[in-house]
Amino acid sequence: MIDLGKKNILGVLVDALDYDAALRRIIDASCQKIPLSLSALAVHGVMTGVLDSEQKYRLNSIDILLPDGQPVRWALNWLYGADLLDRVYGPELTLRVCGEAERRGLPVYFYGTTQTVLDALASNLRHRFPQLLICGMRPSKFRPTTDPEKREIIEHIKESNAAIVFVGLGCPRQEVWVYEYQQALSMPLLSVGAAFPFHAGAISQAPEWMQRRGLEWFFRLVQEPRRLWRRYLFLNPLYLLLVALQAAGISFATAGRKPYGELGYG
């Protein structure tokens, strides 16, 4: 088990930890009924904090930022000698958490995406984990939520008796959601990237060999070129350049600008 704490990657405080450490912290918080916010960050997620001071503040206020992308893991190993053998991939962590939740009888809740994807996700997870307690699901509104709607969402989750909440709204909306709800809900809130559509069978995952070599971005770009080309063809090279500058001694401040008000993504 590896948990070396938070490390500065371009001003974003990413946790240098492995699956076992992440799983232990999630289950401990769930059993103790205490708040725990978590997000799985690939390069795009890190760069949202680099390019937006308010988003950096949100990210650095989240309890655990996982090295979800291989280039993020590589940066931790290169800059800090973390010796992480693998990334902590949101979809894989989702399965590990669901397996442990099934074993311990911890109810789970899914927030985000569409009802169609949620239904397929629940069906597939129940097939894989027959005793998993799915106590609630709610699709995204795909628009900002009002204050009354936010209060209603909080009450719905509380009344479901959820012990763990999975959030799938897409980056950066899901990180904003976790940041804004983390003090209102005494349980782990896990922002897990593309885990919902992957495990629902709505989107194909990259082959394992591409994932190991940090080429998942290319696989997804081929699948959704019109939506993703700007993200990958601009942000990935910029990320590599900035990490090289950090390795050469350039410092990146971790202080962001506290957001004024809430975005209320739902």
Q: Which of 189-203, 218-232, 238-252 has the lowest mean pLDDT?
A: 218-232
The domains of the chain are located at: 3-200
Residue whose structure tokens are 């027959």:
130
Task: Give the predicted TM-score (pTM) of the model.
Answer: 0.91
Chain centroid offset of residue 33 CA: 20
Q: What is the mean pLDDT of residues 208-220?
A: 66
Mean of the per-residue pLDDT values of the chain = 91
Give pLDDT, residue 201. Answer: 82
pLDDT at 226 over 90: no
Give pLDDT, residue 187. Answer: 97
Interval 123-164: pLDDT, tens? 999 999 999 999 999 999 888 888 899 999 999 999 999 999
Give pLDDT, residue 222. Answer: 62
CA 164 – CA 109 distance, rounded (Å): 6
Rg (CA), the chain: 18
Residue whose structure tokens are 């704490």:
5
CA 160 – CA 150 distance, rounded (Å): 16
How many CB atoms lie under 10 A from the CB of residue 177? 29
Of 2.60.40, 1.10.1220, 3.40.50, 1.25.40, the CATH number of 3-200 is 3.40.50
CA 141 – CA 113 distance, rounded (Å): 8
Q: What is the mean pLDDT of residues 35-57?
A: 96
Q: Provide the pLDDT confidence category of residue 202 given band limits of 50, 70 and 90.
A: confident
Give pLDDT, residue 224. Answer: 65
pLDDT at 228 over 70: no
Give pLDDT, residue 82. Answer: 96
CA 225 – CA 210 distance, rounded (Å): 17
- Residue % of the chain over a pLDDT of 90: 78
Indicate the angle between helix axes 236-247 and 43-51, nearest 10 degrees: 70
pLDDT at 119 over 90: yes
Residue of higher predicted confidence among 231 and 201: 201
Q: What is the mean pLDDT of residues 240-260?
A: 95
Give pLDDT, residue 214. Answer: 65
SS (H, E, C) the chain: CCEEEEEEECCEEEEEECHHHHHHHHHHHHHHCCCEEEEEECHHHHHHHHHCHHHHHHHCCCCEEEECCHHHHHHHHHHHCCCCCCCCCHHHHHHHHHHHHHHHCCCEEEEECCHHHHHHHHHHHHHHCCCCCEEEEECCCCCECCHHHHHHHHHHHHHCCCCEEEEECCCCHHHHHHHHHCCCCCCEEEECCCHHHHHHCCCCCCCHHHHHCCCHHHHHHHHCHHHHHHHHHHHHHHHHHHHHHHHCCCCCCCCCCCCCCCCCEC
Interval 81-106: pLDDT, tens? 999 999 999 999 999 999 999 999 99
Under a CB-based contact definition with an 8 Å cutoff, are residues 164 and 187 in contact? yes
Residue whose structure tokens are 């699948």:
223
Q: What is the mean pLDDT of residues 11-17?
A: 98
